[in-house]
Structure 1
Amino acid sequence: MGRQTIRSSHANDPRRQPTIKTLIPYAELIRLHRLGGNLNIFFPCFYGYIITVLTTHPLPSPPKVFGFRLPLMVASAFLLRSMGCAWNDIMDASADRQVERTRSRPMARRAISVPMACFFTAGLFVLWISTLIPLIPDHGHLVVYTLPQILMVLIYPLGKRVSYYAQFWLGITLGWGVFLGAEMAGFDVVTHITKAFGALLEGKYVPIRRLSPLNEPRVHSLGACYAGYVVWSVIYDTIYAFQDVRDDRKAGLKSMAVLLGAKAKPLLAVLSAFQVLIFAYVAVLIRAEQLPDAFHNVLEPRDILKNMWSYFLYAVLGNFVALASIIAKVDLEDPKSCNWWFQHANIWVGVSIGAGLVAQYIFMAL
């Protein structure tokens, strides 16, 4: 009886309730109630990481691949996504008040002051960097890979105001995680590319075929993965944007949904086919890195299918089925349908590609 009285007194303690009530808007600000969005940050980073692992000689052991790095990558994705959401809501507060779906967000309803929200966002940035230090111990490399990501995150909210192609900018921003993941696995793709163009920057003409770092299949595979994720981001974020297309038009906001209207589905279908082909090409490049001389010759389709069948099963065939289902069944005129397919599409397509990469690693490691 005494314990129940103590619990009841704590539950009704007026000094405790305001604290919890004050924290709720911050949880809403980072979309703590919608954790699925963290996958948008995690997937490209994970893809770049595993592609680098698959093209490393000798192949790293499972404990090294899936040890402490993976939990840190998950934490890093959560913090970066939280920071991006907070900054987006700070910048979009006035616009969010004009859209029915977003007018209840904490910044739009003024549940958090702008200075406090900025301070909170800065704290998330510090925590994000702290998760990356063990993954990228070289401070110079840390700056090279995080600075572009931060700049793109900061600029992204302006996209709706100046261009109809905010979805494309989002893809460029999120896709950068591919190169960040490669660096976490020990491959500095940025340095490889800058070295390749070093002679050109000095004013010397060098034929592109002689820029040896660009002849590395690993560089091409990461670049192809980046391009594929940009295309995928355009697809799912355009579907997402159709939730607010009517309000966006009234408010003068721009998006690919506003631009395309009824023409969106055919374009999304074409982009889906293109995305599948890109990730199929990634398999060719991974196999080429495993056989370095093959990159300069013609790879046999039989050899690729024989050695990359697990990747093709999930990352290509599974990816194709998921995308085909999404494009066929989503009703772009129904906000509820757009929201449902947006949330589930990320999981289906993202997991398909990730499963293909992991299955390929297991196949090679056995």
Structure 2
Amino acid sequence: MSDTAARVADATGNWVDTTAPQRARPYLRVARYDRPIGSWLLLMPCWWSAALASGIAHDLSRLPLWIVLFFIGAFVMRGAGCTWNDITDRDLDAMVERTRSRPIPAGQITVKQALAFLVAQALIGLVVLLQFNWFAVATGIASLLIVAVYPFMKRITWWPQVVLGLAFSWGALMGFAVAFARIDLTALLLYAGSISWVIGYDTIYAHQDAEDDALIGIKSTARLFGARTHRALVVFYGLAVALIAAALISAGVHLAAWIGLAAFAVHLAWQIGRLRIADTALCLRVFKSNRDAGLLLFAGLVADAVLRSLN
């Protein structure tokens, strides 16, 4: 099979396709290093919570290290999660136009090879996790149950995006676990807000596959909401902003954090106005823009933490 034929349908022209060693490419593809947006979205709640916790503590000394460790951990564990997802979904992926070119259904790697790669990624993630306190280690390990069951949810519920939200928002708890060895109300509010955000953006993402999903019986909020998606996004994005605002109130933040949240909210509103669910290419672009939304909020939280550390 030529490398051009081996490329994943919705991820061409990236560094994996052009510069990575040939033998490594199927493994990098199964871990989605050719499409890193998911890793960024997993990372955002980690960075939010780390910055918010640093502001509460009036201590920035450990934040740079936490940012680096969370970055490595998010990319490695998202790769492990995607590998697990592709193992469990290999038969379904073969029936969907966008996913049939993924490495396992396309025959680029075997299930055993994918499992070995999954274990290797998980071990790297464990090394990162062990840099934190034992409460944080236990909190991080607890997330694996949600990650393990997520791929099966779209077979049994119209709300798999909720389970994805539980998994992808776990980092909102981790910053507080790392900083304070506890999870308090502020962390839980941030977690809930992030879950609402994930439900919104993954509904947008799922509209790419809505027609194929209907043919093979896969459930999603995109299919559930259908033409009502814009109204649903108003609800979930609005709830995300409200819950994150409640977390900021609980944390006693100052103006910089509120500016970050306002920029985040404006970006989410822009997404709703821009979205056309029948345009799958546009759905992907709007979905990817959520990294920028998350970074806007993160910038505000970092600025607030810096200012509070000076007081």
Highest Rg: 1 or 2?
A: 1
The answer for the alignment partner of 2:260 in structure 1 is 314
Match of 1:283 among 248, 253, 257: 248
Question: Do 1:25 and 1:112's aligned partners in 2 also have CA atoms closer than 8 Å?
Answer: yes
CA contact (8 A) 2:45 2:169 kept: yes
Provide, for residues 238-265 of structure 1, a one-character-per-residue CA deviation record: whole Å limited to 9, x for no partner. 0000000000000111101111111111
CA distance, structure 1, for counterparts of residue 22 and residue 291 of structure 2: 32
1:225 to 186, 190, 194: 190
In the alignment, structure 1 segments of 5+ residues that lack a partner are 1-18, 190-218, 288-306
Rounded to whole Å, the distance in 2 between the matches of 1:162 and 1:224 is 28
Which residue is equivalent to 2:284? 339
Q: CA deviation at 1:311?
A: 1.0
The answer to whether the 8 Å contact 1:69/1:135 transfers is: no
* Aligned counterpart, 1:254: 219
Match of 2:155 among 156, 161, 167: 161
Range with greater deviation from structure 2 (353-362 or 232-241): 353-362
Write the distance in 2 (CA, Å) between the matches of 1:142 and 1:284: 24
Partner of 1:216: none
TM-score, structure 1 length as denominator? 0.76
Higher relative contact order (CA 8 A, sep 6+): 2
Structure 2 match to 1:109: 106
Q: Distance in 1 between matches of 2:128 and 2:141?
A: 15
Structure 2 length-normalised TM:
0.90
Match of 1:93 among 87, 90, 94: 90
The Cα offsets for residues 97-149 of structure 1, whole Å up to 9 and x where unpaired, read as 1111111000121211111111110111011000111123x3xx355213321
d(CA) in 1 for partners of 2:21, 2:232: 46
2:203 aligned residue: 238
Q: C-alpha separation between the residues in 2 aligned to 1:143 and 1:340?
A: 35
Cα distance in 2 between the residues matched to 1:364 and 1:318? 20
CA distance in 1, matches of 2:137, 2:131: 14
Against the structure 1 CA distance between its residues 78 and 123, is the aligned structure 2 distance closer, same or farther, given a 3 Å change threshold? same
2:75 maps to 1:65:
no
SS in 2 for 1:135: coil
Aligned-residue CA RMSD (Å)? 1.5
1:354 and 2:271 matched: no
> In the superposition, relative to structure 1, how do residues 49 and 20 fare at CA in structure 2: closer, same or farther (>3 Å)?
closer
Q: Secondary structure of the residue that 2:207 maps to in structure 1?
A: helix
Matches within 5 A, 1:1-366: 20-56=21-57, 59-60=58-59, 62-66=60-64, 68-136=65-133, 138=134, 141-189=135-183, 219-287=184-252, 308-315=254-261, 317-344=262-289, 346-366=290-310
The amino acid of 1:124's aligned partner reads: Q
Q: Distance in 2 between matches of 1:90 and 1:49?
A: 32
* CA apart distance, 1:65: 2.2
* 4+ residue runs over 6 A deviation: none
Q: How many residues are aligned here?
A: 291
C-alpha distance in 1 between matches for 2:115 and 2:232? 38
